[in-house]
């Protein structure tokens, strides 16, 4: 069938709508409704008809109503303003006819166990959504973000779920009650989230909505990383699950009035471009790029010695497709010669900022009018500075820079992105315009881009001159010479294990000693270098085997901007109760990750790319004879009376 969506056409950056147009989107038969006749897991429960109307969340936070053509006998829910579908059940209440489980038992069913079952909680209810998540759920695998936990915060974000028919579908999948202690722990977490949101006043009063699946590292400014399990589930990281690195409050940018000013050395006079100019007057290109925070895996470095910075684990990284004009094309339109050997006059630092900007398309020469009096440099010796709309208390914007040769090279694929993963740029990721610089530290991909300046020095912003520096272990915060330290640009080869990982604050991941360990992770290298191989060991590096690589980017070496995902099945040492899982990547230039964190410690906790390590506790049959095979008691078939009534 076809899914026809009546929707306003919107600009690529999510701007004002223009007259309506009907779009036909390919859909598989039954994509809009589904009769779930198969029994749900081990319960024998049947889900009712799902209605033919679904709400499709748009990036602008509006919603489009989609209906199926040619399907008879399916009634959609009432239109907004009419009486809701009659609610015959109240979800999440305690039920005397069901067993009771603990929060730990709920968490055991997060989709990673031996039976891959997925349970979620809502109030006091526990629900097995394993089969529903794989077939009937209109939102696809998004439901898996709540696996083993509370689904309520996701429903608070996506309020379409709060209708009678959805409650009925949920309650049909009910398998247990959550005990009072577990329910209180989830409620306390919800209260903490609400308090954090309420505290966000002043410059943080207009922050965007965020996925509750993100693992928050700071609330103000907001910084969070992707759950490791979600990170390896998709080659392209969904935009709402992509790690968030904000240095300041998220600005509220009006796309109708937003302009980009391009100025500086080699440009006769400043030129401004509207978003319409950037979307309509330049070729739009898609570039698949992995971005990584310079502090990714800082937590491991902090175990060696204290470091300054957010407590990033291993998932401050993500891969996405970014769409917009090439930076080199925009610089050329502003009058900059693209030959890196070109000699251009160097403007004083303040000259470009004080000049009146000309509109896009105005004549702009190569900026050599004052060549007799101005110093000159080759373009390759200059820098391209960028500023965002996010500002500190004193009004200074976030800024960063990259070498000019990188900005103008056709081989470096730097884009001014209007879209992320085929949708308007989310606010947290730079709406409406973001620079995306492949192969370098993520802090150089400036968000909410307002100004580009070609200069004979790096950006003078704090984040270029005093942060994101390559410090050695001999440098501490007593007397750091940050101005002289090298600014981070290209990132080193990196790999991390995403599964298995310790759970619930444990020191080690528990694995089944009767079978090989299934290991998953990512690998990436900066500078456009591809990944040659990933080595994995389950005995601390005594023996190794090569992982299978998954690369969906189709990129060639030298312009390999996207990561690879990898997996391996690794046997554990015979007879051992504990061991260490390690992995390392080798890139196409044969750079390999160092074995230990200690020798590359830095006071800012940046550039940790040591072997990724996961302690393992090996569970063997003899050690679990007193319990059930999977360790925790089952909600459906209690073997030892561990299920209890609240």
Known catalytic residues? 137, 161, 245, 293, 468
Alpha helix ranges (H) inside 84-124: 103-107
Strands across the sheet containing 285-292: 285-292, 317-324, 419-420, 423-424
> Residue 315's closest CA among 217, 417, 212?
217
Contacts for 501-508: CB closer than 8 Å, 24+ residues apart: 501/228, 501/614, 502/614, 502/615, 503/107, 504/104, 504/107, 507/615, 508/578, 508/614, 508/615, 508/616, 508/617
- E strand or H helix at 66: strand 63-68
Give 530's Cβ-side CA count (13 Å radius): 15
CA distance 495 to 530: 12
What is the number of other CB atoms lying within 10 angstroms of the CB of residue 151?
A: 24
Cβ-proximal residues to 352 (8 Å cutoff; 6+ apart), any chain = 263, 264, 265, 267, 270, 453, 455
CA distance 48 to 165: 9
What does the DSSP assignment read for 399-445? EEEEEHHHHH-TTS--EEESEETTEEPPGGGTTT-EEE-TTB-GGGS
CA distance 443 to 489: 9
Q: Tell me the residue length of the chain.
A: 646
Q: Is 107 in a helix, a strand, or coil? A: helix
Both tokens of 641, joined, read 């009376």
> Residue 547's closest CA among 527, 564, 528, 561?
564
Contacts for 639-646: CB closer than 8 Å, 24+ residues apart: 643/99, 643/100, 643/101, 643/176, 644/99, 644/100, 644/179, 645/96, 645/99, 645/100, 646/94, 646/100, 646/124, 646/177, 646/179, 646/180
Both tokens of 115, joined, read 């039976």
> Residue 325's closest CA among 13, 112, 615?
13
- Separation of first and last alpha carbons in the chain: 48
């Amino acid at each position: 069938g076809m899914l026809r969506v009546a929707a306003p056409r919107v600009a690529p950056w999510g701007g004002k709508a223009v007259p309506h147009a009907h779009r036909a989107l390919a859909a598989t038969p039954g994509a809009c409704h589904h009769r779930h006749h198969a029994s749900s897991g081990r319960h024998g429960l049947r889900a009712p008809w799902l209605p033919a109307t679904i709400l499709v969340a748009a990036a602008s936070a509006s919603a489009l109503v989609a209906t199926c053509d040619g399907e008879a006998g399916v009634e959609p829910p009432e239109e907004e303003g009419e009486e809701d579908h009659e609610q015959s059940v109240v979800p999440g209440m305690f039920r005397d006819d069901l067993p009771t489980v603990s929060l730990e038992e709920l968490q055991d069913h997060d989709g990673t166990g031996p039976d891959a079952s997925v349970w979620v909680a809502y109030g006091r209810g526990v629900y097995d959504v394993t089969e529903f998540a794989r077939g009937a759920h209109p939102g696809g695998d998004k439901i898996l973000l709540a696996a083993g936990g509370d689904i309520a915060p996701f429903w608070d974000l996506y309020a379409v779920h709060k209708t009678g028919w959805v409650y009925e579908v949920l309650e049909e999948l009910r398998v247990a009650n959550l005990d009072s202690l577990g329910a209180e722990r989830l409620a306390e977490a919800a209260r903490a989230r609400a308090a954090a949101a309420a505290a966000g006043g002043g410059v943080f009063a207009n922050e965007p909505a965020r996925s509750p699946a993100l693992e928050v590292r700071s609330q103000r400014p907001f910084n969070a990383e992707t759950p490791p399990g979600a990170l390896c589930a998709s080659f392209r990281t969904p935009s709402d699950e992509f790690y968030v690195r904000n240095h300041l409050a998220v600005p509220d940018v009006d796309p109708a009035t937003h302009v980009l000013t391009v100025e500086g050395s080699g440009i006769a006079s400043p030129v401004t471009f509207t978003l319409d100019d950037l979307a309509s007057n330049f070729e739009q290109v898609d570039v698949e790029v992995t971005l990584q925070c310079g502090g990714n895996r800082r937590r491991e470095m902090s175990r060696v010695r204290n470091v300054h910075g957010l407590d990033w684990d291993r998932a401050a990284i993500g891969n996405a497709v970014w769409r917009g004009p090439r930076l080199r094309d925009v610089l050329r339109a502003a009058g900059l010669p693209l030959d890196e050997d070109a000699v251009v006059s160097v403007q004083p630092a303040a000259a470009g900022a004080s000049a009146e900007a000309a509109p896009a398309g105005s004549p702009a020469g190569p900026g050599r009018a004052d060549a007799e009096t101005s110093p000159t440099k080759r373009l390759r010796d200059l820098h391209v500075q960028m500023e965002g709309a996010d500002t500190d208390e004193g009004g200074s914007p976030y800024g960063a820079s990259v070498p000019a040769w990188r900005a103008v090279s056709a081989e470096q694929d730097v884009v001014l992105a209007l879209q992320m993963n085929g949708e308007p740029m989310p606010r947290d990721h730079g709406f409406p315009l973001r620079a995306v610089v492949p192969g370098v530290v993520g802090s150089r991909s400036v968000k909410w881009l307002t100004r580009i300046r070609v200069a004979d020095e790096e950006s003078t912003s704090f984040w270029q001159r005093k942060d994101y520096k390559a410090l050695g272990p001999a440098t501490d915060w007593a007397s750091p010479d940050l101005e002289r330290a090298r600014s981070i640009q290209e990132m080193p080869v990196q790999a991390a294990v995403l599964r298995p990982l310790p759970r619930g604050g444990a020191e080690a991941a528990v694995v089944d000693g009767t079978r090989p360990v299934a290991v998953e992770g990512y690998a990436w290298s900066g500078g456009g270098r591809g990944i040659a191989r990933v080595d994995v060991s389950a005995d601390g590096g005594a023996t190794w085997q090569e992982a299978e690589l998954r690369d969906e980017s189709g990129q060639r070496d030298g312009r390999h901007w996207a990561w690879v995902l990898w997996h391996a099945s690794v046997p554990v040492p015979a007879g051992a109760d504990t061991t260490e899982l390690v992995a390392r990547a080798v890139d196409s230039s044969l750079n390999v990750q160092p074995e230990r964190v200690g020798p590359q410690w830095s006071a800012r906790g940046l550039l940790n790319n040591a072997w990724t390590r996961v302690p393992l506790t090996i569970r063997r049959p003899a050690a679990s004879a007193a319990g059930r095979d999977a360790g925790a008691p089952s909600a459906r078939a209690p073997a030892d009376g561990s299920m209890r009534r609240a």
